[in-house]
Structure 1
Amino acid sequence: MQLWTPNQPLKNGRFIVQKVLGGGGFGVTYSALEQRTGKLFAIKTLNPIQQSQGDFQEKQEQFVNEALRLRGCQHPHIVKVHEVIQEAGLWGMVMEYVNGDDLGVYVDQHGHLSEDEALRYINQVGQALECVHQQGFLHRDIKPNNIILRDGKQEAVLIDFGLAREFTIGKTLSMTNSKTEGYAPVEQYERQGRFGTYTDVYALAATLYSLLTERTPIPANYRKDGDIPLKAPKQFNSDISDKVNNAIIKGMALEPQDRPQTVREWLELLKPSPKSQIQNLKSSKMDYTRLSDLLAAGEWKAADQETNRVMLAVAGREKAGWLNSESMHSFPCEDLRIIDQLWVKYSNAHFGFSVQKRIYQSLGGTRHYDSEIWEAFGDRVGWRNRGNWIRDCDLVYDIKAPLAHLPADLGGGIIGGWGGGFVGLGVGFSLASRLVDCNI
């Protein structure tokens, strides 16, 4: 049996093993440095348990064939498979190294996602699954821990195809009963069953359930054997829309025939209706129709200025012309949420308060001041240049601006608000705290 160790050379020194990244019932994945390029890769092999089985060689052959098939899934939201290598009789799948946390870890650290952000990732993974299904494969292990967020980007990458298997619609197949409790549909609890794209639909819907509620759904076999109903996700998070709530329940129907039969069918259930596109443009204090129109037209500078205007008006600070800590601490959650949702929606989650908050927290930011974290945040979102905070006139009003660059013209200047002058720092921390309080 082989278990690679740190600093072990592979392929005559082409790769140097760095560490174990993770493992499961079938495989173990290592990070490895390619000496010639200095580039990190992830290399996956069958684990020692599989190596000890009598049918190991057969499993190796299947492993290699699946790797070759997965190379055909060239998709931005699927971990890229480069090649297969052999070291002392053990085959390895060489894949891109994706730097970032998985969604399970992210939710554990930061709480449940907003509906907009969760749907962004689910749509990305759904598109990836369509590619997998077109290749004649099922993933069979969709869950938050198998979805990595690229560091500093709102891009989800589907990983760990250890349970991936070919399928034929309408045929009863014998498959391994490995599964992840809570995300596996009832057919995965049977040694023989009718598997299809609807098998991955269940897991994708269960993943969305978890992202929005911070809860693992009740396992499908418990639901069936104990006749225990699935609690609607909206019971745990009242901010979930009826449309998304119903789509999750539909996707997690116990019997395969009661679910949408393809990922595309299920994703269509999540699309907002024309009516919902124009809802929530008014709060008890402000009408946000003009902000919505400006953002829809891509008028980023005017939208930034409008954001400044409405926030001053809501806070009753028009005469002062700037926001202070007190007004930010008491800023209505309803208004803050509408502003954020509009920015996130029309920028395709490139701009918005929630995007800024996610980056800030990913750097270790809290409600307490840390100059290094503030400066790192400013560097990341493009508010600092060569170690100095930029002026408002140097902001980039373009969708090609750095992630989370806007909105930036918060009363008094969010550049000052997040990281600049003395008054601004207080506003910045108050905004960060308020975003947490409002669960944005």
Structure 2
Amino acid sequence: MQSWQANQPIQNGRFIIQKVIGSGGFGITYSAIEQFTGKLFVIKTLNQQQQHQADFEERQVKFVNEALILKSCKHSHIVQVYELIKENRLWGMVMEYIDGKDLGVYVDEHGPLPEDEALCYIDQIGQALEYIHQQKFLHRDVKPNNILLRADQQETVLIDFGLAREFTIGQIGSMTNAKTEGYAPIEQYERQGKFGDYTDVYALAATLYTLLTNVVPFPANYRQYAQLSPPKQYNSRISYKVNNAIVQGMALEPQDRPPTVRKFRELLGLATTLPMQPSLVDQPSPSVSNLNYPKLEEFLRANKWKEADDETYLVMLQAVDRQNEGWMRAEELCNFPCAVLCKIDQLWVEYSDGKFGLSVQQRIWGSVSDSPNSFDISTFYKFGGYVGWLNNNEWLSYNNFIFSLEAQEGHLPSFGYGVQSFHEWQLSYQYLLPRINSCLLNKI
């Protein structure tokens, strides 16, 4: 039986083992340097405990199947598997090396995470799970320790697919005894049970519970004797919306949970089904002369960027007759007059020499998003970094915006950030983004 040691060459000297970086019930992972390229990789094998089992060869087959599942998955939030290698009788899985730490360690070091940060990570892993489910697989071991956070980035990667299994929704199947207490739903305690997307929904909700409280939830198999304490009991700063979504996601019986990860993300406010938009041709366009464009143009011509930013939001309010309220409703944002958006964009682009404007922001969003016409939290964070709204993982206050051409490309306009709370502003952008995309795509 094999156990690789530091400085040991494998694959005829192609790789040099560095050290053990992780070990679990099934596998052991090593960091290794590829001598020819000097590149660092992770290599995972079955651990010595598994190697001593009588059915070791069958376990190797399952291990190889895990590698094949992962190798077929191409997603920014799923660990990348490059190839399989065999050293004597032992198969190894060569994977990307991720410089960072898992979320379990991260929360232990930093304590409960702010809600916005935790939701950003859950949104990323949620999207990864949706992708996995589309391939007809379940992960079945989602937990903080199986989510790596890349160093100096708000970007997470889902790892350890050792329990991954093909499934058919509603089909009765055999579940292994392997599970993680606190994150495994009740059906994983049963030898025969119905499983589906909702199985991973439970674990994802339980993971969010821990990120926000630094408390491992009560195990599902004991919940017939004791009630699950809502996360807000441990952290009063958790919003009622998120608290209730977690409790629903961790419902004991599968039929009481959101049926898919997408539905769970919608409960959290991370994904929305936007109202239908009317035809651009049929939409009445307000007269340009009815809006205060001359004042906006005056500020832009004089390079008074803050005044122009404030005036832009006033023009937008005027366009939907919401000056008195000072904010816009979802239906007004989703159906915002295209003529106004196009005029605002034209003025900003012209007077900033292409540095600022809606079309500039639209192009940047498209470059960082897998789905340019839809909104998701993880892309919003990436976008915020590119345009300079997010600095060192912290959203700037409006007073710290850079109102000059020294700012990053796309830094302005801000869509009323100065007069709304962060959550209101984020929600406004969520509804307005698809409208900007459709209007500028069909510029009138």
In structure 2, give the amino acid aligned to 1:217.
Answer: P
- Aligned counterpart, 1:9: 9
Provide the secondary structure at the position in 2 that maps to 1:101.
strand
Distance 1:399-1:4 versus aligned 2 partners, 3 A rule: farther
| Deviations 1:241-281, CA, capped at 9 Å, x for gaps | 1211111011000001111111111111111699xxxxxxx
- Is 1:397 the counterpart of 2:403 in the alignment? no
- Aligned counterpart, 2:235: 237
Of the structure 1 ranges 169-178 and 100-109, higher mean CA displacement relative to structure 2 is found in 169-178
Q: Distance in 2 between matches of 1:32 and 1:182?
A: 33
- Aligned counterpart, 1:181: 181
- Aligned counterpart, 1:268: 266
Provide the secondary structure at the position in 1 that maps to 2:173.
strand
- Aligned counterpart, 1:27: 27
- Aligned counterpart, 2:207: 207
Distance 1:6-1:272 versus aligned 2 partners, 3 A rule: closer
Does structure 1 conserve the Cα–Cα contact (< 8 Å) formed by 2:9 and 2:15? yes
Of the structure 1 ranges 247-256 and 164-173, higher mean CA displacement relative to structure 2 is found in 164-173
Does structure 2 conserve the Cα–Cα contact (< 8 Å) formed by 1:69 and 1:135? no
In structure 2, give the amino acid aligned to 1:179.
Answer: K
- Aligned counterpart, 2:136: 136
Q: Distance in 2 between matches of 1:272 and 1:102?
A: 22
- Aligned counterpart, 1:123: 123
Deviation for aligned residue 1:345: 6.7
Distance 1:70-1:34 versus aligned 2 partners, 3 A rule: same
- Is 1:246 the counterpart of 2:237 in the alignment? no
In structure 1, give the amino acid aligned to 2:99.
Answer: N
- Aligned counterpart, 1:108: 108
- Aligned counterpart, 1:169: 169
Does structure 2 conserve the Cα–Cα contact (< 8 Å) formed by 1:349 and 1:355? no
In structure 1, give the amino acid aligned to 2:199.
Answer: T
Does structure 1 conserve the Cα–Cα contact (< 8 Å) formed by 2:123 and 2:270? no
Does structure 2 conserve the Cα–Cα contact (< 8 Å) formed by 1:139 and 1:164? yes
Q: Distance in 2 between matches of 1:45 and 1:273?
A: 37
- Aligned counterpart, 2:277: none
In structure 2, give the amino acid aligned to 1:47.
Answer: N
In structure 2, give the amino acid aligned to 1:269.
Answer: L
Distance 1:198-1:273 versus aligned 2 partners, 3 A rule: closer
Distance 1:88-1:218 versus aligned 2 partners, 3 A rule: same
- Aligned counterpart, 1:338: none
Does structure 2 conserve the Cα–Cα contact (< 8 Å) formed by 1:116 and 1:345? no
How many residue pairs get aligned? The number is: 310
- Aligned counterpart, 1:39: 39
Distance 1:167-1:21 versus aligned 2 partners, 3 A rule: same
Provide the secondary structure at the position in 2 that maps to 1:107.
helix
Deviation for aligned residue 1:190: 1.6
**Structure 2: stretches of 5+ with no match in the other structure:** 273-308, 315-332, 334-343, 353-378, 396-401, 412-444
In structure 1, give the amino acid aligned to 2:38.
Answer: G
Does structure 1 conserve the Cα–Cα contact (< 8 Å) formed by 2:10 and 2:16? yes
In structure 1, give the amino acid aligned to 2:408.
Answer: Y
Deviation for aligned residue 1:168: 2.2
RMSD over equivalenced CA pairs, Å: 3.1
Distance 1:96-1:399 versus aligned 2 partners, 3 A rule: farther
Q: Distance in 1 between matches of 2:178 and 2:13?
A: 35
Q: Distance in 2 between matches of 1:239 and 1:174?
A: 40
Deviation for aligned residue 1:398: 3.3
| Deviations 1:306-345, CA, capped at 9 Å, x for gaps | xxxxxxxxxxxxxxxxxxxxxxxxxxxxxxxxxxxxxx97
Provide the secondary structure at the position in 2 that maps to 1:238.
coil
Deviation for aligned residue 1:33: 0.4
Q: Distance in 2 between matches of 1:292 and 1:45?
A: 58
Compute the TM-score of the two structures, normalised by the length of structure 1: 0.65
- Is 1:223 the counterpart of 2:234 in the alignment? no
Provide the secondary structure at the position in 2 that maps to 1:265.
helix
- Aligned counterpart, 1:311: none
Identity %: 63
| Deviations 1:139-197, CA, capped at 9 Å, x for gaps | 11111111111111110000111221222222221221111111111111122221211
In structure 2, give the amino acid aligned to 1:257.
Answer: Q
Provide the secondary structure at the position in 2 that maps to 1:234.
helix
Q: Distance in 1 between matches of 2:391 and 2:110?
A: 12
**Structure 1: stretches of 5+ with no match in the other structure:** 275-288, 303-343, 359-390, 401-440
In structure 1, give the amino acid aligned to 2:104.
Answer: G
- Aligned counterpart, 1:280: none
Provide the secondary structure at the position in 2 that maps to 1:188.
helix
